[in-house]
Amino acid sequence: MKDERDHPEDGASAEPDSTAAAKQPGRRGAAGLSRRSLLRRAGSVAAVVGLAGGAGRTAGAVQRGALPDAYLEPEGFAAPPLERVRMAFVGVGLQGGAHVRNFLRIPGVDVVAICDIDAPRAAEVAGWVIADGRQEPVLYTQGEEDWRRLLEEQDGIDLVFNATPWRWHVPVCVEAMRAGRHTAVEVPAAYTIDGCWQLVETAESTLRHCIMMENCCYGRSEMMVLRMARAGLFGELLHAEGAYIHDLRAIKFSDANEGLWRLEHSKTRNGNLYPTHGLGPVANCLGINRGDQFDFLVSMSSVQRGLSKYARERFGDEDPRALQPYALGDMNTSLIRTVRGRTLVVQHDTTSPRPYSRIHLVQGTEGLFTGYPDRIFLEDRAEGGHGDWQDVEPLRSEWEHPLWRRAGDDASGAGHGGMDYLEDLRLIECLRAGQALEMDVYDAAALSVITEVSEISVAERSRPVEIPDFTRGRWRQRRPTGSFA
């Protein structure tokens, strides 16, 4: 497989900087810095009104102007209803394959085409479709750009589902929307500011959906806490915390699946590389993009030790993997302030020995919920307003989200505790009903952009960096929809 760094994600339409250094994600070479200083200079005003572009963009390739009428609805963009949803999958590794299994169980879906550079894997996943008694999907397995051929040939496709490594997220989605297809993409949707704008502007100009599949927003506890927050159980919300704390050392050094591409990002980038799982659910509670908006961020990374130590211990002191410098600090902590004055902490640590956690903390004027393990504290249930954590279990029957009541049994056994199935189910239900999607391209951009914004802050001694408002002010009128209403 080619080096991850050969293709910056913004290579779909843009003209990337011609130097090799500029092509490396997050690389602090001369060209990389000039791109950041451009962004910095374009800075606060331009980023907020949507004018900031990365260096190397083709002038005029992207219009960062007003939202089209179809995107002005408070509930977001809705496309015409689809009787059935004809799908093509690009990238059917561990996560893409799990989605295919889900979609085979959801009414109204046809799996028409599968594209993967790993031909045996594509054939294996196609075998599941055939074993389900369906028509054999057309396979596209002739290299890293064969999805372009798929887009040309498969003109009956409604939805392209993109579960490729990160660098392919933007190029595949942009070209798929230009070809007239709706798109769904795994997390993060993009890992540059410019990539986020490309997704937003292409969705707007083509009138197509681009949803980021942030499954954690559909977690059982996450949806319950959203209901509680909406009902005012915690009072006025002040603060939230989320994280992706997941020891991926073995996975990063493996010679299969994410081991083939994820480590490259740790070599060259330093910030929060994977913010959306921790942020998605708590951003929903705070109404980000719908009533409030991220304003600015400061970010700090610890020193890097985990990958080097692991590589020395597993492979020996002289092994290239032990000698390799890794840019990514083990623990990154970013602090976000919203326009309405609330705060969020989001952390990323994939290289320290510790149990998995997304933290999932929501604090209001009358109490809080926090995860890992789930606990709650409500002032009016505590003696004298003080005391210990309260048991959340008795509250579950009252606050269980209606989606989990309706489809929780169907979701059981599906990926990540069932939340993957529910996000897939709601995507198809909304497309077939012609409704606005519960998460849209603005959510994809707002959650994903934390990647590069945190990298910029880390590189500049935790300088506050403005977070682009991809809704260009519409967050004031926009409101949650469907399961998140």
Q: Work out whether the CA dihedral 175, 180, 186, 192 comes out positive or negative.
A: positive
Among 111, 163, 288, 431, binds ligand NAD (CB under 6 A): 163
What interhelical angle do 193-206 and 169-178 show, nearest 10?
10
Write the interaction track for ligand NAD spanning residues 125-144; mark x where CB under 6 A is met and - where it is not.
-------------------x
Stretch 47-106 residues interacting with ligand NAD (CB under 6 A): 90-96
To ligand NAD, the closest distance from the beta carbon of 97 in angstroms equals: 7
**Is the peptide bond between 188 and the residue preceding it cis, with omega within 30 degrees of 0?**
yes
Q: Does 124 bind ligand NAD (CB under 6 A)?
A: no
Residue 168 touches ligand NAD, criterion: CB under 6 A:
yes
Residue 263 Cβ vs ligand NAD, minimum distance, rounded to whole Å: 12
Identity of the residue, 165 or 371, whose beta carbon is nearer to ligand NAD in the bound complex: 165
Which residues, other chains included, contact 252 with Cβ-Cβ below 8 Å and sequence gap of 6+?
258, 259, 262, 263, 266, 307, 350, 351
- When the beta carbons of 278 and 468 are compared against ligand NAD, the nearer one is 278
Q: What is the dihedral of CA 192, 217, 288, 459, to 10 degrees?
A: -30
Per CB under 6 A, contacts with ligand NAD among 205-224 are 215
SS3 214: coil
Which residue's Cβ has the minimum distance to ligand NAD?
93
Cα 242 to chain center, whole Å?
14
CA dihedral 32, 264, 163, 442 (to 10 degrees): -30
The alpha carbons of the chain give a radius of gyration, in whole angstroms, of 22
Q: Answer yes or no: are the C-beta atoms of 91 and 168 closer than 8 Å.
A: yes
Task: Compute the least distance from the CB of residue 98 to ligand NAD, in Å.
Answer: 8
Is 50 or 97 the residue whose CB approaches ligand NAD more closely?
97
Amino acid at 15: E
d(CA 380, CA 88): 51
Using CB under 6 A as the binding rule, whether residue 364 contacts ligand NAD is answered as no
Among 24, 102, 154, 164, binds ligand NAD (CB under 6 A): 164
* 11-19, 31-39, 158-166, 201-209 -> range binding ligand NAD (CB under 6 A): 158-166
Tell me which of 129, 187, 282, 449 binds ligand NAD, using CB under 6 A: 187
410 forms part of the interface with ligand NAD (CB under 6 A): no
> By CB under 6 A, how many residues form the interface with ligand NAD?
26
Alpha-helical regions (H) of 259-316 = 262-268, 276-286, 306-315
**307: region left, alpha or beta (phi > 0 left; psi from -120 to 50 alpha):** alpha
When the beta carbons of 92 and 392 are compared against ligand NAD, the nearer one is 92
Q: Which of 312, 337, 396, 416 binds ligand NAD (CB under 6 A)?
A: 416
Binding positions for ligand NAD, rule: CB under 6 A:
90-96, 115-118, 121, 144, 147, 163-166, 168, 186-187, 215, 257-258, 260, 416
